[in-house]
Structure 1
Amino acid sequence: MVQELLSQAQIEARLYPESDGKPMADNTVQFRLMTTIVGGFSVLFKERQDVFVAGDLLWYPKKKETLTAAEKKLPSSQAPDIMVVLGVEKKDRGSYKQWEEGNIVPQVAIEIVSPSNDKGGMENKFRFYDYYGVEEYYVYDPELNQLQGWLRSGGKLIEIPQMEGWRSPLLGVSFSTSEKQLQVFAPTGEMFETYEDVVRERDRATERAESAESDLQQLREKLRQLNIDPDSL
């Protein structure tokens, strides 16, 4: 029985590998954007246990034995640079097998264009996301500082004509490229930041607090020199 179970697990791993053999990112710009956006979404939905956020995770929409002739012409899987799924458990996964997730389609996919992405590959991604029901699809090209977006309407992904300041209907975030790079803003207006930015701001806050405490102590000392008890004020 154990051997049989192991064999089944091995078969499953061969049919649905957890890696496509490609690097997570081709360069530092792509990596920084991916980690910043994934981190931003993770913070945005930190209180919700029914929102799953992932980066570079393989999504398998259907079991291979159930694919139709038309579906076999599409890629069997995709690994969006950023993926957000509403309505599934927040937990670790080796891949996203849709049939194990209540058949819930990832609603939002974001791709960061890298030098290895050719026109044919990007067209295949679009066809995949369009066919399998992604609600919102965004593509950002760092080299051109160009953001494109598509919203599902009438069963198809329709291009959004104006992306500057666009607000995602599902996620509530907005996008801008006006500063010569992609910026994503939470519904509160706060910009998604890198980990380095967060740490830098934390350090500044600590310095401000320490400076304020030092100023307070100096003021207390001056009051004592004037024979005034600062605690009596």
Structure 2
Amino acid sequence: MTVALDKTIIYPDSDGQPMADNTKQFRWIVLIKENLDALFADNETVFVAGDLLWYPVEGRPDIRVAPDVLVAFSRPKGDRGSYRQWQEENVAPQVVFEILSPGNTTKEMSRKLLFYNHYGVEEYYIYDPDNNELTGLIRVDGELAPIENIESWVSPRLGIRFELTPSTLNIYDGQNNLFLSPLDLRKELTQERQRSEQEKTRAEKEKARANQEKARAERLATQLKALGIDPVE
């Protein structure tokens, strides 16, 4: 009796590695991923993901990588266990981000660069928050090449602008809005509410003062009329 072998290929949704090695790296991954999600919220054909395994070749589950953040244009939003390129009309993510931590080795990052270069990434950004260093590569003549002047660089695909200050990296959208963390956004919203409440209170006080002045003028006019004096004259 011959037993048929199960030839189903398994593409794991996890590589067993943590999303981040430390809180700083995690914070930057979330900052970029969530702000890109918000930036393209109204575009149903831009897919953004963080720490999602990307399988570029059907039948080869060993060929994979999990970018800290990936962006795939012309792909629908929605949940995925992994990004299996042959199920995505063979569209490779066009933009990827990697946030460095002390655990990243030169060998690992070289392997990722070769992977992204080979499988069609158009823009590749690497940020080291510990040393405040940003590296960018863009596809030129079929190869990823370093961006010589990354300061104030604007991503062709994303439309976002990078600004390195002496202490940190600032990222701005096309309307010059700074990428904010959920905590910073909450603080800004709280401050905006406080300013709105203060303006409302000021307006209410001004209205009350105007009403008092009007009532005073009406009383004065009534008193003058009682004395036979026309307040209009």
Superposition TM-score, scaled by structure 1 size: 0.86
Q: Paired residue for 1:141, among 128, 134, 144?
A: 128
Alignment partner of 1:21 is 2:16: yes
Runs of 5+ unmatched residues, structure 2 = 1-5, 217-233
Residue in structure 1 matched with residue 117 of structure 2 by the alignment:
130
Counterpart CA distance in 1 for 2:85 and 2:75 is 10
Counterpart CA distance in 2 for 1:224 and 1:104 is 66
Residue in structure 2 matched with residue 70 of structure 1 by the alignment:
none
Q: Highest Rg: 1 or 2? A: 2
Q: What SS is found at the alignment partner of 1:176? A: strand
Amino acid at match of 1:96: Y
Residue in structure 2 matched with residue 191 of structure 1 by the alignment:
178
What does 1:152-167 correspond to in 2, within 5 Å? Answer: 152-167=139-154
Q: What SS is found at the alignment partner of 2:190? A: helix
More off after superposition, 178-187 vs 44-53: 178-187
Amino acid at match of 1:29: K
Q: What SS is found at the alignment partner of 2:72? A: strand
**Residue deviations 1:102-151 (CA, integer Å, cap 9, x gap):** 00010001100011110100001001000001000111111111111111
| More helix per residue | 1
Q: What SS is found at the alignment partner of 1:227? A: helix
Counterpart CA distance in 1 for 2:127 and 2:140 is 21
Alignment partner of 1:57 is 2:57: no
What does 1:1-233 correspond to in 2, within 5 Å? Answer: 11-12=8-9, 15-64=10-59, 76-228=63-215
Counterpart CA distance in 1 for 2:106 and 2:11 is 26
**Residue deviations 1:36-88 (CA, integer Å, cap 9, x gap):** 111111111111000000000000000235x9xxxxxxx61011001000001
Counterpart CA distance in 2 for 1:113 and 1:19 is 20
What is the count of residue pairs matched by the alignment?
A: 212
Q: What SS is found at the alignment partner of 2:97? A: strand
Amino acid at match of 1:121: E
Give me the CA root mean square deviation.
1.9
Amino acid at match of 2:80: R
Contact 1:64-1:76 at 8 Å conserved across structures: no
Counterpart CA distance in 1 for 2:36 and 2:210 is 49
